[in-house]
Chains A and B, each alone.
Chain A
């Protein structure tokens, strides 16, 4: 079943699927041809290139079947919780209750891309006065208004405070449509004052890199992320309000023991993803393309509505990546420019475009690096979750985020940064400048591009900028 790594079109994947099925490929219940998703309306798939491994097939099928999974959970009597904006913390709590399924309605922001605007979610948002001056997450408003893309949640929870204004404003409009929201405050993270107790947040680990054989071992120091004890306690209190709401919904206690179990399972998923990122980003040849890695990272924030299956999907991808590295197989060329990518793209096709331009992704910050870090297991679970929530890169200053990006660049051997602006997003006016300033201080090339949900019209300009970056990287190597 294994073929040398290459990227396939949708039609080529369907042919390969037929061969795999005939050869006895075993798939989960949601498996099957990728082409059926296109036939169901996911038209963008016909413009993407996919990794040819069965592991990637499983990943895509897992992602594209989430809507069915959520409706099936509703039919099975599960309580559906829509968690919004915090990207990684509240779902860990919700999934600790067996009666509850949690997902991010925010994820609707990719529907216009995947369906090439046929979904009309953006048009509905327009009709509600939320036009293109807002981030594409406005598709979420259209999804709530049309009630077609996911089951209406039994409970909606949204973080607010140190979040982007687009999201907060759009979520408020969702509430105005008759969907009550439990708002919880995430304060702007700050350095402790001299007279305040400081608390370390997740993501502080210094890491040893290098195999010790061809590349020497060296330590990459991550910036120390801290917050005042008072902020951790405040967030802890906010999460207690969420715990009470979840208990009301589930009709049972959400004990510390249940939360500890939930954290352990979340960490198992996070460890698998961390290892997958390390293997892929540090390999001489990319064992998996950037698009599949982007999707894999996205799974982690709410497990794509199936926590156990999410782990299996990640493990299979990891096994495939390791196998390819051992066999010295991979995508693209050995001299592909190693790029660190900042922010998720509204149009998935742009990840393919980078690779077509001679680059590959070796490091990412898709707005939720706190969801990649393990949640401390040695602390009381609610405090651990509060620390994890406060480590959100969007809750603190952009220079904290830049610090981690630069540390990860060193860890993964990235050579340049692409800051992908999200159209209309309140944070994009300034964060790219802060990140670029820090990167240029250390000599890294940086470009900013802006990617709308369907970027075909802008493709030549985006490609031109990516090609220029790739050329710059290669020119620097020869100096």
Chain B
């Protein structure tokens, strides 16, 4: 393979540990893509707008991208990438050690790709250092969650994904979430749609749980430092954390419902905003189940190829919140 000097590797899936990329001396950029006009992809009819936005970003950029098989369309889009692309085979099954081993094997294969790109083989000490660093930031993000309004919190999360840094606003009374507590569940939110959180506030609500693939749900759990002692390979500890991230595509996806059950209750959620991208089968199939399962009122929002949340979203949210208030 031709070595391409590169400093940055881009992806959007939560199942790619930033720590692993950084331990290779490269910058990890977990992108929330933007849908661009004239992306030259109109011929791919039936394509999910989020996947389309990611491919568009890939083909407009210079660096390498990672496509993750958690979504069938993302898996297939790697064939349309005009940049170096790595297809990361993310297991859907999640209850066997074989699946976890497959995941670890893919991380090792990714390592070879990163080294081919100009990265270096990660040292144990450096990996641990980076893991601890990320764990510290994620703990801070989690602690800040209840003390921040949802729009800046969503942007803080996006900032962490984008560059590994979190500019968390210190807790203060004025920034606490106000409005009817809502959960946002469904497809990931594109960068150009982050205004959705402001729209919800404008309508009288507050997203107290962002359970999309671009929200808190996609953060791995807290690191147990005991897993890093002795001679054990820290990669196993890292893989164990990320492998446990619940999602609708896991089979079975009971872990998602356990997560939602606990978080909806703990945060006093009174309503659900269920937001799915057009053609996102994985989430759309769960809509009806989520509507009935926790017994909470739910409003559905569809995302097509619009560059930003439309006015109809605001209207629907306002009606929904009027009903809840």
Contacts and interface: CB of A to CB of B under 8 A. Distances in A.
A187 B105 CA distance: 12
B136 interface: no
Interface in B86-142: 87, 89, 91-93, 95-96, 98-99, 102, 105, 109, 112
Given A168-B249, A426-B281, A173 B79 contact: no
B288 A129 contact: yes
Nearest to B73: A426
Interface string B286-301: 1111010000000000
Contact of A429 (B47, B69, B285): B47
Given A129-B285, A130-B285, A234-B102, A428 B46 contact: yes
A221 interface: no
A32 interface: no
Interface string A144-175: 00000000000000101111111011101101
A185 B93 contact: yes
Nearest to B78: A397
Contacts of B280: 165
Contacts, number: 130
Interface in A416-470: 421, 424, 426-431, 433-434
A169 B284 contact: yes
B281 A433 contact: no
B7 to A, nearest CB: 24
Contacts of A431: 76
B97 to A, nearest CB: 10
A128 interface: yes
B79 A398 contact: yes
A183 B92 contact: yes
Interface in B237-295: 248-249, 251-253, 278-282, 284-289, 291
A230 B253 contact: no
B281 A134 contact: yes
Nearest to B280: A165
Interface residues of A, number: 46
Interface residues of B, number: 46
Contact of B252 (A133, A175, A397, A427): A175
B288 A188 contact: no
Interface in A40-78: none
B249 A188 contact: no
A188 B79 contact: no
B79 A234 contact: no
A133 B285 CA distance: 10
B91 to A, nearest CB: 5
A98 interface: no
B249 A165 contact: yes
Given A160-B93, A161-B92, A430 B252 contact: no
Interface of A: 128-130, 133-134, 158, 160-166, 168-170, 172-173, 175-176, 181, 183-185, 187-188, 190, 193, 230, 234, 237-238, 241, 397-399, 421, 424, 426-431, 433-434
The 8 closest A-B pairs by CB, nearest first: A129-B288, A169-B285, A429-B46, A165-B281, A426-B72, A183-B251, A165-B72, A429-B47
